[in-house]
Structure 1
Amino acid sequence: METSTLRSWLKLAAADIAARCGDLVLRRTRGGDSRRNGDGEPQGTLEILRDSERRYRELFESLDVGFGIIEVVFDADHRPQDFHFLEVNPAFERQTGWRDVVGRRMREIAPDAEQYWFDVYGKVAETGEPIRFERRARTLDRWYDVYAFPFAKASCRVGVLFRDITQRKQTEHALRASEARSRLALDVAQLGTWSWRGAGNLLSADPRFRELCGFGLDEALSLEGVMAHVHADDRVVVEARVREALEPSGEGRLKTELRCVDPDGSVRWLVARGMTEFSTAGGDRRPARMLGTVMDVTARKLIEQELLRGRDELELRVRERTDALARANAALHVEIAERKTAEDKIRQLLGQLVDAQEDERRRLSRELHDTLGQHLAVLTLGLGAVRAQEGCPPHVMERLSHIEQAARRLEEEVDRLSYELRPLALDNMGLVDALRQYAADWATECGVAVDVTVLGIPVDEHLPAAVETTVYRVVQEALTNVRKHAAASQVSLIAERRGPELRVIVEDDGCGFDATSMTSPTDSGRRLGLRGMAERAALVAGSLDIESAQGHGTTVFLSVPLDVGHTHDETPHHEQTPHRAG
């Protein structure tokens, strides 16, 4: 039952009960039946009274609201102190939960009852004026809608009609709390709310909406007026979004971004959201109402614009930097190509220089061997012939003998120099015999045996001249370093051919050295020797690696690719041909 209907019903019920049954209840509660008092009333009057009592009882028990008749008790100062229950209907117990209250006092039933209830009922009894109010009964923890009225004239009796409205109060409280939370959320989010009704095309909104859309608090609102505040560039899109949201066949959702122009010309970015409620009156689905919000996103849009500008500037700088790097890269490629060309030229010149050097060594070697060596041989033979003649004085013979010995030593030194400049074995017999012969000579000179191992290289095979010369000179320099610096007791020389590559290893058990010391100026001789070995290897596209440590000897690794165009059997010879020189 709605509140207004309940109020009217309570008043009518109270008036009917008071007018028709007041005297009857008064007499009945006093025990005043006409038949028992012998007042001589006609029998018809008794029937009327019985009928009135029956109708009163039916009305009394049929009420679905609580009803009771109470009698207010005043103290000596005529202040209401208590009341006792004269009559209650069945709904009384359902509305309060109290049983058997007739004849009992309120202070007895609820000792901690609020004084308010006694005061208000005492006022009705004194003034004869009815009163209606809503109040929470603390002892019952329930809310009641109460209508109290004087029940009998010139008495302290009060009729009370009441209804438990606790659930309604809780619902109202929850609704108010929900509305407060919603309003708080709207305030925190700085949202404006609006509502549009299809009937009459009415638009209403809260102050925040008016502020965001540029309307005064008293300015009339209309959908057309709002559209007039939308930026001209956004108006067509916004109108299309609104039409889509109002389309009966659609979902009824509205979401759009727009710009509103304030009266001062400033522009504000907004996000509008809404949901349409449709009615189906007459079988047609029509938009009845749309509820929505607007949110100010101007700050976000400004940040987005700044970010976009920053991104554009960054992309421009990246493009500029990329172009600069591309130019630098192109210049670097040109520089690398030029440097590679220069290195190739240098390598070519070095190769030519080495070739010229080798040619010159070969020429000098042959000149020493063929010319000076022959002259020394003739000189030695002549000296021998002179010394063999008879009649030569003894002191002359002794002098000739010394000269002959010097000539032989000079001849041997010329042969040695001729060999070191360019061993004839390298040209006549090939790399393998040249290496073995040099190792044997080195071992004889130094007194340290050299283990020579050759794998996969036939003795009679000639490798490319540049390869043979490079390998021979590197081995020669490596053994020279061993003689000068290593103080070794054992040396090994390994030459192995693996497919298109020739590998050579020279290893000793000498004192070794710290590879980092090669940068020291005090070891310039060794540094230059090793650099020369590496440069020779690079001239034939080879590589040179050195492993050494103090007290652990030294190992030289040489790897040289063979000329692909050279005709020889590239299948490795697996037989091992060891040779110990010295």
Structure 2
Amino acid sequence: MTIAADKYGTLFNKMEQGFCIVEVIFDDAGQAVDYRFLETNPVFEKQTGLQNAKGKTIKELQPAHEAHWFRIYGDVVKTGESIHFENEAAYLAGGVWYEVFAFPFDKPEKKQVAIFFNDITERKKTERNQTFLSEISKDLVELDTISATMERMGEKIAKHFRVPWASFAEFTDDLETGIVPFDWHDANVPSLKGSYRMDQLWTPEQMAKNNTELMVTTDTQNDPRLFAQTYAALGIGSFISIPLAEHDKFRFMLSILDAKPRLWHEDEIELMRELTVRIWTRLEKARAEEAMRKSEDKYRSLFNTMDEGFSVLEIIYNDAGEAMDFLFIEVNKEFERQTGLQDPTGKLGSEVVPHTEPYWLNIYDTVVRTGEQTRFENYHEDSRRWYESYASRVGGPGSRQVAIVFRDITDRKKAEERQTFLLKLTDALRPLADPEEIQSVAADLLGAHLKVNQSLYAETIGDYVNISHSYAIGVPPMIGKFRHQDYGIRLIQGYRAGEMQVCYNTRTDPTISEAERQVLSSAYISAYVAVPLIKSGEWLGTLAVLSIVPRDWKQNEIDLVKETAERTWIAIERAKSEDALRKSEQQLKQLLQLREDFIGIASQELQTPVTTMKVFAEVAQEKLEEHGSKEEGELMRRLNRQIDRLTRVINDLLDASNIAEGKLRIYLEPTDMNEVIQEQVEEIKKIAAHQFNLQLNELPIIDTDKERMGQVIINLLANAVKYSSEDTTVTITTEPVTNGIQVTVRDEGCGITREEQPKIFDRFYRITDKNKTPSPGMGLGLYISSQIIQRHGGTLTVESEPGKGSVFVVTLPVEE
């Protein structure tokens, strides 16, 4: 066993991957909050920067380590499933991206996870930079003026590098003056536009280098090549400047500048080099285009120096004056490279590219006839490429020649087509709620986009796959149930393992048996791409596209099938979730309606017997008191009070039900609110031992439902009494306010927390305090009062602090 341990220990120590074993630490709630390193290899220390980690927790080594790492490893422990992922650790080794494979280790109760990982930071930086370059390239194509190009590029470059400046400088022939015609700058720093004497920026030694070398400075105040005071005055602390020379002469410089010292990384410098070349190329093209518009006779010579393809064609017309063909007069080398056409000069288009679409000739004919330049993008079937082209007539009226400058934009077009398709797919799937309809629509859209013979979704059911719909062109649709084994054990095993299957030619694929080949042939399948759906280790279905002829599937097509499958399955899961939610909402609505119906029926049915009980109880009380039965009379008096309380509860339930159904009736009449308050205070005094302080100011008569207003006031007074001790005072204040009156009820009770205050006007809500005995009531008084006040166009609000009592404020409008 020791020998085996030594062997594996030696293996792990020699691995090029980082490796460690950790023990995941959980809190009492079962959440992963830390992990302890049990084993590490030498690469671990190199890639993480963590020294002597064994026996220590990550929080001890790096307290700021992100919580998502704990969650991921915690899930591995809980589920017992391995995971492969990429993630960033911003606080390890100055910020690192890792590719990680983690799996459970040892017994589950030990909560251990074994982790293999690689530092993929450089790849991530490269991907980010490539994405940025793609965006820049796309923008450069779309921008057609120098000023627009410089302004747009400056902003994007500065934001990508997170610097306050990006500038573009050109230099005079004697190199003594640098001119910054364009810059982008943050709002917190000044613009750098203007002219600068180079001998005030660079030392003589630097000037003598002809300014053609890359300049990178991490600190302008400590760089011997620079005049520090000039940069200090400009507020520049560091920069990268990439020069571009033409014919060994310095012409242009792209710079990014920071206000503070900064250590520039190699990938940032390389990205700046690439940007400089691309932007310079675009600027040169823009200048050339502008010059071409001014002087068409110089068109060809200008574009001979460009990297784009260039050709001059002569349009051939028939006797009726219709454009029939074109003759290649001249092409450049880039033309041959981008089109793949060799030595076309002197040949007709119908000879060299016989299947060229008519719209190319139509465009050139229009340019020759009108003399108007045109820019366009078109697909060329013979070369199977997309081109961005600029066409202009050569010479004056009567000339039949057209000059074309073009560039291959196939990659961009494919990316755009892919994005357009995915947006179309998303828009089409979004409103759908039926999983089968989602599968059908996705299959139809994918089949039409890829121009395949069949596109289908197959649901896995036991030993069969069931296909309910198939997009089919030129072949019978595959619909029905089909056995797995007929299509080959190898294929099915791949599906079960979650592996995408790609076949370019079923007739020559050596992995396909003769029996399987016959089945595929009978189904008109000569090539296919298939993506299985795996959930919790189970193969649930497959999205596939099929061709009746061998097909050289492109990587972008394979990727698109996979992306379509993922989006389709997400849409299906969303539809299932929404259906479950709709059913849950319907059940909840039914339950709420049942509750409302019960409250309304129960309160109505109780009203008559309770009223009868009240009558009998009062009669019994009078009889007992007349016969001198004091004790029995007191018992009946208590019974009457409880019947009164039950009556109020029933009335509250009826009011709540009427409010919910919009049936609460209000009968307006002229009302003196001071009088209403005094009446209700007298009523509350009969049952409360509190002191009541009335501060009633003269009020205007207002139109209210007097009985309902009394109900509001008694509810507020009862609430104040309920939540304050008997030795305290309840203060009632009235006063006129702008366009209304205001009634305030203040108590000296326990108060209400800020969290509960918005809830106390909700139906059936009662303030809860685990340290206190619950107060009687159903939580309807404040709800009903609030609704009554709202029906009068007023407001009911509360101000309170725990331990300092509560203040309820009623505001009612006065009709003018």
What is the TM-score normalised by the length of structure 2? Answer: 0.32
Asked which structure has the greater CA Rg, the reply is 1
Considering Cα pairs closer than 8 Å and 6+ residues apart, tell me whether 1 or 2 has the greater RCO. 1
